[in-house]
Amino acid sequence: EVQLLESGGGLVQPGGSLRLSCAASGFTFSSYAMSWVRQAPGKGLEWVSTISGSGGNTYYADSVKGRFTISRDSSKNTLFLQMNSLRAEDTAVYYCASSILLMVYAPGYWGQGTLVTVSS
């Protein structure tokens, strides 16, 4: 059974930084793309970033490009999202997700999410 457990959320001031983690189990972590998807309070889902299984390819939404960095550590089966220069509009629940297919990187299996609040 695929299990994804996010951590690292919390309250941070505008302009600050935060690092989210997602511990994965139940599948061959290094084979599948991983993504971060966020949901602002009362709003819809927003794709944030994806990293390929090898970690060699990364992709970002325009809204976070240059501020967020996605990475993965296959020795620890863990996905990361380094968030810098945080803004109020980054306030959201952040979900990590693995792809279901090897070659199609859409979010497939989801974690329960971690809340990030950017406020002074």
Round to the nearest angstrom and report the end-to-end CA distance of the chain. Answer: 40
Q: Which is nearer to another protein, 82 or 113 (CB)?
A: 113
Task: Report the residue from 9, 113, 115, 117 that binds another protein according to the rule CB under 8 A.
Answer: 113
Residues 82-101 that bind another protein (CB under 8 A): 95, 100-101
Contact call for residue 114 and another protein (CB under 8 A): no
Of 23, 18, 51, 12, nearest to 112 by C-alpha is 23
Q: What six digits make up the tokens of 12?
A: 């941070």
Task: Report the residue from 12, 24, 50, 78 that binds another protein according to the rule CB under 8 A.
Answer: 50
Contact call for residue 53 and another protein (CB under 8 A): no
Contact call for residue 45 and another protein (CB under 8 A): yes
Contact call for residue 28 and another protein (CB under 8 A): no
Beta bridge partners of 8: none
Contact call for residue 59 and another protein (CB under 8 A): yes
Contact call for residue 107 and another protein (CB under 8 A): yes
Task: Report the residue from 12, 34, 111, 116 that binds another protein according to the rule CB under 8 A.
Answer: 111
CA distance 39 to 66: 20
Of 102, 84, 104, 65, nearest to 17 by C-alpha is 84
Contact of 1 with 26, CB cutoff 8 Å: yes
Contact call for residue 44 and another protein (CB under 8 A): yes
Beta bridge partners of 47: 37
